[in-house]
């Protein structure tokens, strides 16, 4: 029987619940990364174009106008 050294509940940044000690967390993150790479996990985001629209996007967070992450796109260049 495997007994973790520290029993606790954690919620990681992906919103999943992990049960067990900290020694189990890296395995879960590797597994989740595989799901994302395989397209098994989809995420939602609201994209607002232009830095000039950032204040309105920020206020939209409080009005519940976003789905998932709110992103302000400031350039079409992915390296910026």
Its pTM stands at 0.50
Which of the four pLDDT bands, split at 50, 70 and 90, describes residue 74?
very high
Q: Supply the Cα-derived Rg of the chain in whole angstroms.
A: 18
Q: Mind listing the pLDDT tens digit for each residue in 6-50?
A: 544 444 455 555 566 656 667 777 888 888 889 888 778 999 999
Please state the separation of Cα 32 from the chain's center in Å. Answer: 11
Q: How far is CA 45 from CA 30, 48, 71, 73, in A?
A: 23, 10, 7, 12
């Amino acid at each position: 029987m495997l007994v973790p050294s520290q029993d606790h509940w954690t919620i990681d940044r992906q919103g999943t619940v992990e049960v067990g000690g900290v020694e189990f967390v890296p395995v879960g993150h590797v597994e989740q990364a595989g799901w994302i790479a395989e397209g098994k996990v989809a995420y939602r985001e609201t994209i607002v174009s232009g830095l000039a629209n950032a204040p309105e996007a920020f206020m939209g967070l409080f009005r519940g106008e976003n789905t998932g992450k709110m992103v302000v796109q400031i350039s079409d260049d992915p390296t910026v």
